[in-house]
């Protein structure tokens, strides 16, 4: 079955530690996205990538970093510079950025908490 | 910038009809999406509107008026499993074709 896999489902971070959230898709989608969701807030865009080896900052990129070395993979690193990292992180992908009616498909999310 | 407004919460009864509204302000509107999200789960795509009018898909319909910056999601024959958060998201040409801006979501509670 095609889909988006995020791992781990739950992640705990110590103060001052970097952690990496995994996102893999086998949908052959060009575009991938990372969102953060906090209680009572909508999804906020952290980073997105329209094509391999290219990515752009979203609305709340500070304290995060990404890479897109392979079409299937778009890992997100939450660095120690992110002062409030506790949130639900969602990865998404869409077929192409060129066609506006393509919906984004989401993974099941990773819940990150600070110890 | 963009501003997307949805009611925070709504309640309805099983078997009834409910309408969830979404208003938006964008500089270059290029499509509106509705998603359903159950607690702790991934959002799932429900509908897409780019032209004015109604799009029907089974028990769910979505309406768009571009001149009014307004959309609604209509859910008919409500079932308990429809209790979820409903997210309105807008694509804006000014931000590029890739990205969506999401509203805060409307939490719908369906009671017996």
| pLDDT tens for each residue of B47-58 | 999 999 999 999
Tell me which chain B residues have a C-beta less than 8 angstroms from the C-beta of A7. none
Q: How close does chain B come to A45, measured CA to CA in Å?
A: 8
Residue of A nearest to B91 (CA): A100
In B7-66, the residues whose Cβ lies within 8 Å of chain A are 8, 30-31, 33, 40-45, 48, 50
Give the model confidence (pLDDT) of B6-63 as tens digits: 999 999 999 999 999 999 998 888 899 999 999 989 999 999 999 999 999 999 999 9
Of B104, B97, B84, the C-alpha closest to B3 is B104
Q: How close does chain A come to B61, measured CA to CA in Å?
A: 17
Q: Which two tokens stand for residue A106?
A: 């989401």
Residue B80 and residue B70: Cα distance in Å, rounded?
27
Query: Given this model, what pLDDT does residue B97 score?
Result: 59
Q: Are B107 and B9 in contact (CB under 8 A)?
A: yes
Q: Where are the beta strands (DSSP E) in chain A?
A: 4-7, 10-13, 19-25, 31-37, 43-51, 54-57, 64-66, 76-78, 87-94, 105-106, 110-114
Q: Partners of A57 in the beta sheet?
A: A47
Give the model confidence (pLDDT) of A27-79 as tens digits: 999 999 999 999 888 899 999 999 999 999 999 999 999 999 999 999 999 99
How far does Cα A87 stand from its chain's mean position? 12
Task: Look at residue A101 and tell me whether its pLDDT is greater than 90.
Answer: no
Query: Given this model, what pLDDT does residue B98 score?
Result: 67
The single residue listed with the structure tokens 């309105």 is B88
Phi, psi angles (nearest 5°) of residue B82: -80, -5
Q: Do A90 and B40 touch (CB under 8 A)?
A: no
**Best of B7, B34, B98 to mutate (most A CBs within 10 Å, chain A):** B98
Residue of B nearest to A50 (CA): B98
Is B1 part of the contact surface with chain A (CB cutoff 8 Å)?
no
Residue A17 and residue A106: Cα distance in Å, rounded?
27
The share of chain A scoring above pLDDT 90, in percent, equals 75
Mean pLDDT of B86-112: 88
Q: Do B40 and A104 touch (CB under 8 A)?
A: no
In the sheet that holds B60-65, the strands lie side by side as B3-5, B18-25, B70-75, B60-65, B53-57
Residue B48 and residue B32: Cα distance in Å, rounded?
6
Q: Do A109 and B45 touch (CB under 8 A)?
A: no
């Amino acid at each position: 079955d095609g889909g988006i896999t995020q791992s781990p489902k739950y992640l705990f971070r110590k103060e001052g530690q970097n952690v990496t959230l995994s996102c893999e898709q086998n949908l052959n989608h060009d575009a991938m996205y990372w969102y953060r969701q906090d209680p009572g807030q909508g999804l906020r865009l952290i980073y997105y990538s329209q094509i391999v080896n290219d990515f752009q900052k979203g609305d709340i990129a500070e304290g995060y970093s990404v890479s897109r070395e392979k079409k299937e993979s778009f890992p997100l690193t939450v660095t120690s510079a992110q002062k409030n990292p506790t949130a639900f992180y969602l990865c998404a992908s869409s077929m192409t950025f060129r066609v506006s009616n393509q919906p984004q498909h989401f993974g099941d999310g990773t819940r990150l908490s600070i110890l | 910038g963009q501003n997307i407004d949805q009611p925070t919460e709504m309640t309805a009864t099983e078997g009834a009809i409910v309408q969830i509204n979404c208003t938006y302000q964008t500089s270059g509107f290029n499509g509106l999406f509705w998603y359903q999200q159950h607690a702790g789960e991934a959002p799932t795509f429900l509908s897409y509107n780019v032209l004015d009018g109604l799009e029907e898909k089974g028990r769910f319909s979505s309406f768009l008026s571009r001149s009014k910056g307004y959309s609604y999601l209509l859910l008919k024959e409500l079932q308990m499993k429809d209790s979820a958060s409903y997210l309105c998201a807008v694509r804006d040409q000014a931000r590029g074709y890739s990205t969506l801006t999401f509203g805060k979501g409307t939490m719908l509670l369906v009671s017996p």
